[in-house]
Structure 1
Amino acid sequence: MTNNQVQQEQQRRGLFFNKKTYADTSLLTFEEARSLLPEPIFESRQDYIDCYWRTWEIAYRNTHVPTPQSGFVSNFTDAAFSNNIFLWDTAFITMFCNLAHPYIPGIRSLDNFYCKQMDDGEISRQYFRETGEDFPKWVNVERKPLHSFFHNHYKHRGLAEINDLEFEVMYKPDLGRTVENPPYYRLDTLNHPIAAWAELESFKHTGDLNRLELIWEPLVRYYDALRYHLYNQYGLFVTDWASMDNSPRNKYLGSGLDISCEMVLFARNLIEIGGYLVAKYMEVGATEEAKQLTATIERLDQDTKLFADAINILMWDPQTGFYYDLKNDGQRAPVKTIAAYWALIAGIADEEQAVKLTEWLNDPNTFNRAHRVPVCAADEPGYDPRGGYWRGSVWAPTNTMVIRGLEKYGYNELAKEIALNHLDNVVKVFQDTGTIWENYPPDSIDSGNADKKDFVGWSGIASTLYLLEHAIGLKGNAIHNELTWRLEPGKGSVGCRRYWFAGKTVDLVATEQEDGSYLIAVSSDAPFKLKVQFGAKETMTEISDSAQIRISS
């Protein structure tokens, strides 16, 4: 590529993201950060604590200052297994890095994807870490209609079974799709648009409203690009292998259940983000900006109804009580996968459908295995009890999606049960192997046939976020300046020193008394509300600096 071509290329990128050049604080080493990070207390589970600190130690090995030639604008934490950065991986990595937001580059790792965004809104799933260049296989050099590289070139992790769908079919005028501007990228890289979800998870922990303002336009442009390029004749969204490389679903894929649900989730996340920004603009009298945002929100709301209706009509099977991918002929694919649970987090399922989905999660013949939740149901042909990558493995990102979806529908106990099952099993394997793995087998408590260790990476979610949020019971809410603590009897002393949320640092220690009650000591460097739930009892205390609280069930 000539210098002129490079310059033209750069002019098409990052137009909507207002951070144009590198700026960040100095990276900390793990040794420097350890005394600043949240310090969990769990008297009866030293194994949890050991795994927690090992996780952060590995995470800090995977933090980077971008090279000058990369064009990246922020320090970042990467996926821990290659010389590339991945949008799908990074979005999940931010979710546990939120706990240590000031001290590790979590959410701002996404900046390096926004700054590479094309002028039509497209963002690739993958860039070279050192150079910032596109992964070449995903670039639509010929600017052909939407197509997949893997379909036409080579097999990958069992992709020999992938279907032979020609995606150009969606562009035929007789199907109502006339696309004048083919995408910059191939279909392989246009999947899993969950950056807005990651941004909301971060905002609810940090309260950083300025960041929402920074990322609003890049996210709306990204949404619009995917809506333009991936929307098909069924009113759904196409995918090929959807980053589930060797899943038994692949040979049937036309309309993807995950991408279709994720587009609803994307729109609803943007609606929520837009709502916070409208409130801010109205407060400062920026009525024109508020009016423009409101118009976008209304458009997105119309989309959510349109897409959700199509998903429920075409992808929900009332006989089995499950959601399925759609084949290119409009028939449902005959494979139950974890993709169905995107319908919960996206808010697509009604109450009856949610009940059916939870029944499948509790069924030992499908998803309720020794290690929950496998990405392919155990009664499907091709299921691998040793994991087999996307033929049965348990993955932190998909488990997190399931857990957040269950919480949305009020299934908090089941969400906690799945989170603690995953945490316990990750910690047991850590004790046996001394490391964290990319994925885990569903039918045994070991590393199965996973080949990537020290994977922090998204696998750090269980031993950090699940530990603090589900085992110890702490969850901050920056929007309401409130910290909820769900305490349970029989755990001895539990808590966390230096718990960070909403710009404040809090020390909390609950000591179990002989009568089963808890004496809680709490101190903070700024005021907040502490809500303690213990049995059927709930107390709310305004904390200004320090306090002692006694609570019994």
Structure 2
Amino acid sequence: MPEPICPKRPDYLEAYWKAWELVFRNSYTPSPESGFVSNFVDAAFNSSIFLWDTVFITMFCNLGHPFVPGIRSLDNFYCKQFDDGEIPREIVRDTGEPFDRWVNWRRKPLHSYFHNHYKFRGLFSTQQPDYEEMYKPDLGRTVEKTPYLTLDNLNHPLLAWAELESFRQTGDIERLKLVWEPLYRYFQALHYHLRNRFGLFVTDWASMDNSPRNAYLGSGVDISCEMVLFANQLAEICEWLVPVYEAEGESEKVRQLRAVQTEVSGEAAQIARAINLYMWDSASGFYYDVTDKGERAPVKTIAAFWALLSGVADASQAEKLVHWLQNPAAFARTHRVPTLAADEASYQPGGGYWQGAVWSPTNTMVIRGLEKYGYRSLAREIAIEHLDCVTQVYMETGTFWENYAADFIQKGDKGKPDFVGWTGIGPILFLLEYAIGLKGDATRNELAWTLNPELGETGCSRYWFNGRTVDLRAVPEADGSCSVTARSDGPLTLKVVHGAKTVSIPLTEGTATTIRIS
């Protein structure tokens, strides 16, 4: 496994290895009855596997690829895809069946088993709102097919994001070839079943179980932005695959990919326009969910920041969202970023689950979105802050938690322990990428290393990306320069950033290279 070098922070290193220990403890071989096709890492939350949990698990497991079944864990969702393209977000681990309560057994039009249009969450309630009317499409189209799954089992379409994060680390173009068709069919299914009369996308609780937003949903700003992200990333995958199929003489496949690329790019633009029309409030400078009547919900949640990662916001809108992230009365709390703004009435200083807790997956979304708009310094600041908080709580409790308080350096008051699970993002991914500063890009065969002199000697033995294994060490010198030594078992370009200076170093197979950067 990759071995980080950071002697000045033994707490980071202890947390890092504990996180990997929990990864292996929470790794499973599928039962014969499940029909799953791969070993998998599970959040160990309950007896089910969850799609959006698994998506974020892959993001730090990419750094251990191919030694842990990170991205391959998603294959167990692809193999359960229905003939219309739907993929369940929750599948029972032992049987491989979709979670029973989220199956549309009565073959009704789109509906939810439970929903928070009222002020309580009635998981086992017999009250069933009339979703047939609420989500009736009014876009000049007739819905002829009913979904196999209820709305509870259709949210957070993030598979393409996970695949591209993995592709940039692994360079595995063959995997993109395999997953492209199920991804496209999944997009088509969600677009067909979840699009409403506003050109937005509906959700019920979007896995944010007790958020006050749920009383107003409606159209979710998160899933609507995620569908833009999904469409744009499908187009990007097409762009990667076209030259591969051209080289293989697959002209029909190239034609198909180009047609899909044009289609989904157009859909992305159309959805983005609807989001900015209905969900953006220029007076407050924020994105909001929308009710079934088309009115903006009066609740500020972290869901708004999906507008950054998806590229829905323009530069001015992004700047206003950043102001909210820097506002101590809202999202700039002791531990950023709370899932509910602190100036909302339902905010819980101790976390309250989705009423203000800090979660690794939503923080990852915010950080990647900030990077997309060039706010790299703020993104790194939030990532290292999250790493520090998670590490400190680990040192005090001996484990990692499902979520964390925003106003205190402590676990969330509602959350499970030993949660690796997505909480491995902090001690693994954020340590290597933001504290130590390593970011691989297999598409360029380039490893970027932004040195962090504050940590003293840093580096990583056996850093893995693009089929290469790289050993790296940086030692700050008294004069402010830094001595960098690197060895790779295959050719690549190492791009070292030290302050305002960037140096590109071509590494050849098996040869150690040492340079001094002033």
C-alpha distance in 1 between matches for 2:394 and 2:418: 10
C-alpha distance in 2 between matches for 1:174 and 1:58: 48
Kindly tell me: are residues 158 and 533 of structure 1, through their superposed partners in 2, closer, same or farther at Cα, counting changes over 3 Å?
Answer: farther
Q: 1:463 and 2:439 equivalent?
A: no
Which residue of 192, 201, 219 corresponds with 1:255?
219
Once the two structures are TM-superposed, the CA of residue 341 in structure 1 deviates from its matched residue by 0.6
Q: 1:480 and 2:426 equivalent?
A: no
Q: 1:415 and 2:364 equivalent?
A: no
Which residue of 296, 311, 314 corresponds with 2:278?
314
C-alpha distance in 1 between matches for 2:305 and 2:78: 27
> Partner of 2:507 in structure 1?
543
> Partner of 2:106 in structure 1?
142
Alignment of 1:504-523 (within 5 A): 504-523=468-487
> Partner of 1:397 in structure 2?
361
Kindly tell me: are residues 154 and 300 of structure 1, through their superposed partners in 2, closer, same or farther at Cα, counting changes over 3 Å?
Answer: same
Once the two structures are TM-superposed, the CA of residue 516 in structure 1 deviates from its matched residue by 1.8
Query: Deviation string for 1:220-260 (max 9, x for gaps)?
Result: 00000000000000010011111100001010111110010
Once the two structures are TM-superposed, the CA of residue 160 in structure 1 deviates from its matched residue by 11
Secondary structure of 2:469 counterpart: strand
Kindly tell me: are residues 157 and 393 of structure 1, through their superposed partners in 2, closer, same or farther at Cα, counting changes over 3 Å?
Answer: farther
Kindly tell me: are residues 393 and 547 of structure 1, through their superposed partners in 2, closer, same or farther at Cα, counting changes over 3 Å?
Answer: same
Decide whether the 8 Å contact of 2:116 with 2:214 is kept in 1: no
Secondary structure of 1:240 counterpart: coil
C-alpha distance in 2 between matches for 1:167 and 1:219: 27
C-alpha distance in 2 between matches for 1:372 and 1:74: 35
Secondary structure of 1:530 counterpart: strand
Alignment of 1:93-242 (within 5 A): 93-151=57-115, 166-169=130-133, 172=136, 176-242=140-206
C-alpha distance in 2 between matches for 1:62 and 1:210: 27
Secondary structure of 1:216 counterpart: helix
Q: 1:90 and 2:49 equivalent?
A: no
Decide whether the 8 Å contact of 2:402 with 2:419 is kept in 1: yes
Moved more, 223-232 or 487-496: 487-496
C-alpha distance in 1 between matches for 2:117 and 2:222: 24
Once the two structures are TM-superposed, the CA of residue 152 in structure 1 deviates from its matched residue by 9.6
TM-score (norm 1): 0.91
Decide whether the 8 Å contact of 2:114 with 2:121 is kept in 1: no
Query: Deviation string for 1:5-64 (max 9, x for gaps)?
Result: xxxxxxxxxxxxxxxxxxxxxxxxxxxxxxxx0000012111000000000001100111
Secondary structure of 2:5 counterpart: strand
C-alpha distance in 1 between matches for 2:155 and 2:138: 26
Q: 1:267 and 2:231 equivalent?
A: yes
Moved more, 540-549 or 527-536: 540-549
Query: Deviation string for 1:182-222 (max 9, x for gaps)?
Result: 00000001000001100000000000000000000100000
Once the two structures are TM-superposed, the CA of residue 488 in structure 1 deviates from its matched residue by 2.5
Once the two structures are TM-superposed, the CA of residue 329 in structure 1 deviates from its matched residue by 1.4
C-alpha distance in 2 between matches for 1:173 and 1:501: 45
> Partner of 2:517 in structure 1?
552
Once the two structures are TM-superposed, the CA of residue 550 in structure 1 deviates from its matched residue by 3.0
Once the two structures are TM-superposed, the CA of residue 437 in structure 1 deviates from its matched residue by 0.2
C-alpha distance in 2 between matches for 1:226 and 1:196: 14
Once the two structures are TM-superposed, the CA of residue 328 in structure 1 deviates from its matched residue by 1.3
> Partner of 1:326 in structure 2?
290
> Partner of 2:315 in structure 1?
351
Q: 1:376 and 2:311 equivalent?
A: no
Decide whether the 8 Å contact of 1:252 with 1:333 is kept in 2: yes
Aligned partner of 1:322: which letter?
F
Q: 1:445 and 2:409 equivalent?
A: yes
CA RMSD of aligned residues (A): 1.9
Decide whether the 8 Å contact of 2:23 with 2:41 is kept in 1: yes
Kindly tell me: are residues 173 and 220 of structure 1, through their superposed partners in 2, closer, same or farther at Cα, counting changes over 3 Å?
Answer: closer
Once the two structures are TM-superposed, the CA of residue 169 in structure 1 deviates from its matched residue by 2.0
Once the two structures are TM-superposed, the CA of residue 170 in structure 1 deviates from its matched residue by 5.5
> Partner of 1:288 in structure 2?
252
C-alpha distance in 1 between matches for 2:266 and 2:434: 35
> Partner of 1:68 in structure 2?
32
Aligned partner of 1:210: which letter?
E
Once the two structures are TM-superposed, the CA of residue 154 in structure 1 deviates from its matched residue by 11
> Partner of 1:501 in structure 2?
465
Query: Deviation string for 1:405-447 (max 9, x for gaps)?
Result: 0011110000000000100000000010000000001000011
Decide whether the 8 Å contact of 1:344 with 1:406 is kept in 2: yes
Alignment of 1:7-22 (within 5 A): none
C-alpha distance in 1 between matches for 2:396 and 2:188: 47
Aligned partner of 2:512: which letter?
A
Once the two structures are TM-superposed, the CA of residue 375 in structure 1 deviates from its matched residue by 0.4
Decide whether the 8 Å contact of 1:345 with 1:406 is kept in 2: yes
Secondary structure of 1:546 counterpart: coil
Moved more, 245-254 or 538-547: 538-547
> Partner of 1:18 in structure 2?
none
C-alpha distance in 1 between matches for 2:115 and 2:332: 33
Once the two structures are TM-superposed, the CA of residue 159 in structure 1 deviates from its matched residue by 7.8
Kindly tell me: are residues 96 and 333 of structure 1, through their superposed partners in 2, closer, same or farther at Cα, counting changes over 3 Å?
Answer: same
C-alpha distance in 2 between matches for 1:415 and 1:172: 40
Decide whether the 8 Å contact of 2:136 with 2:197 is kept in 1: no
C-alpha distance in 2 between matches for 1:464 and 1:352: 33
Greater than 4 Å deviation, 4+ residue runs: 152-161, 170-175
Once the two structures are TM-superposed, the CA of residue 288 in structure 1 deviates from its matched residue by 1.6
Once the two structures are TM-superposed, the CA of residue 173 in structure 1 deviates from its matched residue by 7.0
Q: 1:363 and 2:327 equivalent?
A: yes
Which residue of 388, 396, 400 corresponds with 1:432?
396
Decide whether the 8 Å contact of 1:170 with 1:177 is kept in 2: no
Question: Aligned pairs, how many?
Answer: 516
Q: 1:44 and 2:8 equivalent?
A: yes
How much identity, in percent, do the aligned residues show? Answer: 61
Query: Deviation string for 1:100-140 (max 9, x for gaps)?
Result: 01110000000000000000000010111111011000000
> Partner of 2:41 in structure 1?
77
Once the two structures are TM-superposed, the CA of residue 172 in structure 1 deviates from its matched residue by 4.4
Give the gaps of 5 or more residues in structure 1: 1-36
C-alpha distance in 1 between matches for 2:57 and 2:137: 41
Once the two structures are TM-superposed, the CA of residue 284 in structure 1 deviates from its matched residue by 2.3
Aligned partner of 1:546: which letter?
T
Q: 1:341 and 2:335 equivalent?
A: no
Kindly tell me: are residues 155 and 248 of structure 1, through their superposed partners in 2, closer, same or farther at Cα, counting changes over 3 Å?
Answer: closer
Give the gaps of 5 or more residues in structure 2: none
Aligned partner of 2:514: which letter?
I
C-alpha distance in 2 between matches for 1:549 and 1:408: 32
Secondary structure of 2:454 counterpart: coil
Once the two structures are TM-superposed, the CA of residue 93 in structure 1 deviates from its matched residue by 0.2
